[in-house]
Structure 1
């Protein structure tokens, strides 16, 4: 009897226990839920020659930025699948190997081709999707639309109650501007599987983009206590709640959430989330006119000193520059800009010139050169999407431009930008800023 994965694809193992533990482990991985590592290890223990279990374990190591372990695991999977694996499994392992070994462009190309043949191979289909997926970090200006197109191309292959597909299809639509559809899909995924951090995250995004920030805060307050703090999205989902408090003009509440769930000393999140969440929250706190308590920027800088030191990961580059600028480390920003410029000249930075531009603008803003900040950001504002991440994360860059325009006396330009934002997504903060401009 052929054993199958959770979406009905054959598995090259004869162990019922290995197959069951693999199915469970992959579902936990895809829902960002604790226990995936243990379940996959049990699958490997039951069948040490189960290539896909080793590959999934490599994927989990990579998500955790445990690159040496990820490379060792995927090498084991490659050795096994070469002698014991189907065509799909060999392709599956090869794509994960490309992703683990930093060959993102090839991994994206291969994953799209793989999905055309085996669309229900969800671990591979998941790679291009999400805020930190291969599309988002491809440097593409239209990656939001690309995710929608990919989901819609393969929607017919998934049941109406496939919680995983609903999560990512809904997130893709909400990020691409169809908030009503995105909200409905992510709500459905959340209702089907509450133990799914990606669904709670996607639904909070849809609510935020729909101008329902207080609904998102209530959702998170209700859901987060049931999510173990070891979950990789725990701190980031709390970050969304902290942003909601800032939008309502409640910095005390926002700081309490930051202290309890987000700051580096308490977060178990991925390094990219810890760096971006701390940098963007503290930047917003100060930019919105509140006091950043002593030591918080320094703690963020101390954490960032151990990660992302090499330029070239656009999303991280921007947030590393924010931390350096905020702590007065002009030299660090300039060195990163120089390195990024060199990569662009060598054709090695897919996101292009917008990345060093944002880094330079962050330094100008921190030094209160608001006119200079606006001069840098205005020409590249339409290209900010190339750094990846979500709309909520990138909104900080638009905030930087808006505040730079306001503080440098460019009230007409600032008013037009605010009008567009209020039309796109009503916000208590933007309403207050609009009132200041009109006064």
Structure 2
């Protein structure tokens, strides 16, 4: 009997057990749930020529920022699929190989073409989706809309109870502003599979965008203990709870969550999540007028130096710019700004001028030069989405502009920005700031 994956696509393996282990492993991978590596390794042990098991294992290595292991596994997948793989399997492996090799534009183009032919190939469809997906990091300003369009284009191919597709379709809509629809879809997907960190994550984003911080905190408090601390999204989902605590002006609770779950020494999260979660939370604390305990910035700087030394990755570069400004590393900040400016001039930074501009604005903000901060951020404010990530993550840049406007006495412009934000999302923090502005 021919074997198939969870969504009915044929698998080139003769082993019942290998196929079953592969299905379970991919489910766990798509749920960001511990155990995927062990299932996929066992599938490979059952059938060493099982190309897609090697490919999924390579994807998991890449997600965990283990590039050497990812390259080894994808090479094995490429060799196996060339000997006895279908056209769909060869295309699947080729897209993952491009992504693992760092050729993101080619991986995106080939991945989108692949899912036109095989829309139910969920592992490949997952690559462009999410806040850290190929679309988000493409440099596009409208990647939120592009993810919605992609999901809707292929929605008819997915069952109504496909927990993975519901999760990502919902998250895409929520990020693009269709909050009621996005939340409903994400809740339905999460209800179908609660052992799904991506489900909890998507729902946390939808709640944040709705201004439902208390619901987000309650969700995370009740669900997070069921998610092993080795899970790659454990610290990041906790970060959402810390963000909600800051929204209601409880920096003590935000710091308690940070100390227990988010800081570099306590999380097993992806290096990029660790960098961006820690920097953005500590920057918000400082910008909102709260004290950052001694040693926290230095610990984050050590993590950043280990994992993101060189420029060229826009989302990391922006957070390294905030970090350098906050820690007084003017020399490092200026060197990175110069390098980024050179990459922009050479056409080698897809997100463009917005990246060095944010870094320059961060220095001005820390120096107390609010006029310069505003002058730098204003022209690029509409382009911030090009750095990637989610709305919740990128809001730290708009917060910086808003605080600079308030500190500089530009009350009318601050009021306009706050009114626009409050119309989009009822934030208790923004409401407090709005009340404090002079008439």
TM-score (normalizing by structure 1):
0.99
User: Distance between the aligned counterparts of 1:164 and 1:71, measured in 2?
Assistant: 26
Look up the match of 1:220: 220
Cα deviation for residue 438 of structure 1 reads 3.4
8 Å CA contact 2:411–2:438 kept in 1: the answer is no
TM-score (normalizing by structure 2):
0.99
Number of residue equivalences: 439
Cα deviation for residue 84 of structure 1 reads 1.2
Q: Deviations over 1:55-81 (max 9, x none)?
A: 100000000000011111111111111
Look up the match of 2:64: 64
Q: Note the residue ranges of structure 2 that are not aligned, 5 or more in a row.
A: none
Cα deviation for residue 377 of structure 1 reads 0.2
Does 2:322 match 1:311? no
User: Distance between the aligned counterparts of 1:181 and 1:258, measured in 2?
Assistant: 31
Look up the match of 1:46: 46
Matches for 1:13-412 after TM superposition, within 5 Å: 13-412=13-412
8 Å CA contact 2:25–2:37 kept in 1: the answer is yes
Q: Deviations over 1:217-267 (max 9, x none)?
A: 100000000000000000000000001001111111111000000000001
User: Distance between the aligned counterparts of 1:60 and 1:332, measured in 2?
Assistant: 33
User: Distance between the aligned counterparts of 1:62 and 1:339, measured in 2?
Assistant: 26
User: Distance between the aligned counterparts of 1:387 and 1:243, measured in 2?
Assistant: 20
Cα deviation for residue 191 of structure 1 reads 0.5
User: Distance between the aligned counterparts of 2:354 and 2:274, measured in 1?
Assistant: 23
Cα deviation for residue 156 of structure 1 reads 0.3
User: Distance between the aligned counterparts of 2:56 and 2:409, measured in 1?
Assistant: 53
Give the 4+ runs in structure 1 shifted more than 6 A: none
User: Distance between the aligned counterparts of 1:395 and 1:102, measured in 2?
Assistant: 27
User: Distance between the aligned counterparts of 1:102 and 1:220, measured in 2?
Assistant: 33
User: Distance between the aligned counterparts of 1:360 and 1:337, measured in 2?
Assistant: 7
Q: Deviations over 1:243-295 (max 9, x none)?
A: 10011111111110000000000010000000000000000111111110111
8 Å CA contact 2:3–2:14 kept in 1: the answer is yes
Cα deviation for residue 332 of structure 1 reads 1.1
Report the secondary structure of 1:120's partner residue.
coil
Report the secondary structure of 1:414's partner residue.
helix
Q: Deviations over 1:312-368 (max 9, x none)?
A: 110000011111111100111111111111111111111100000001111111222
User: Distance between the aligned counterparts of 1:144 and 1:262, measured in 2?
Assistant: 26
Report the secondary structure of 2:306's partner residue.
coil
Report the secondary structure of 2:186's partner residue.
helix
Report the secondary structure of 2:70's partner residue.
helix
Cα deviation for residue 303 of structure 1 reads 1.1
